[in-house]
Amino acid sequence: MLNIGEYHVLKAVRKKDYGYFLQNEEGDSVLLPTSCIGKERVRIDDVLNVFVYKDSLDRPVASLAKPFVTAGEVGYLKVVMKTEFGAFISIGLDRDIFVPIKEQRFEIKENEKYLFYIYVDKTGRLAGTTDVEPYLRPLEEADNITYKVGDEMEAVVYSATPAGTLNVAIDCKYKGLVLPNEYFQSVYPGIELKLRVKRLYEDGVIGFSSRQKRLIERSSLQESILKHMDINGGFMAFNDKSAPEDIKATFNTSKNYFKMALGGLMKEGKIAQDLEGTRIVK
């Protein structure tokens, strides 16, 4: 049996004007269309590693092209078209994959990338869903990979809890989380974040932070503050009494870190605060 959405090692047994018929040892055969051969040369009796899927006419076909993801895997894929019934995503083949409306857990946009789990639907076609959580594993199950507090890596957001905790995927395989106090930028599903391991939980899930190490973050924040003041004539309408939400909206940081950064700049004699805000000392 030739499973849809998987790779198969098959032998070229018959040539036609429109391609080659390939066959496995059990006698199951599938067409390798000329359009799916690419630049490779195929001869009778060649043994080929091909990907099997259904074409636009709903026929099983083989391809020498390598898709971005196979059935049963999660991929970070681009939405190429939206319709009233669903959306289509590219997996790198000549046919895009359908994502039904009911399989979209949030609003997706054309030309944006999101995490999708690829499966074979009831009709035998490849389809996608944004519900990737059940198909991700704890990071501690990663083969031959160990992580420790302070390690940095990139991850993709796939959902958020009502309380604001972000659920993220590493390498489209492993899951982690980012608590609300560990990020300050606007975040939505599909966005890539550069994260740092903050905590290793007992259940194998890894807690991350998008914040830099304290000294590095303070230095970076101080640069942002001075740049903001330079642009505004050496003044900003912020001081250590400013509202946390206003600080977060402008500087993407907490009030605590903001006050630390201001304190450092004041000790260096670079700024001075008053009731109106903060000024650069010349």
**Which domains, ranges and CATH numbers included, belong to the chain?**
6-63 (2.40.50.330), 74-134 (2.40.50.140), 136-209 (2.40.50.140), 214-280 (1.10.10.10)
Sole residue written with tokens 């199951």: 28
- Spacing of C-alpha 200 from chain mean position: 21
Distance, CA of 37 to CA of 48 (rounded, Å): 11
Tell me how many degrees the CA angle 233-237-238 measures, rounded to the nearest 5: 120
Higher pLDDT pick, 258 / 29: 29
State residue 79's pLDDT score. 98
Give the residue-averaged pLDDT of 172-190. 88
pLDDT at 126: 97
- Judge contact between 13 and 28, C-beta under 8 A: no
pTM of the model: 0.75
Percent of residues, the chain, with pLDDT higher than 90: 53
Mean pLDDT score, 94-113: 95
Distance CA 67, CA 177 (A): 29
Given this model, what pLDDT does residue 81 score? Answer: 97
Percent of the chain surpassing pLDDT 70: 95
Q: Contact, 173 vs 133, CB < 8 A?
A: no
Instruction: Give per-residue pLDDT as tens, 35-52.
Output: 999 888 999 999 999 999
Averaged over 57-85, what is the pLDDT?
95
- Is the pLDDT score of 212 beyond 70? no
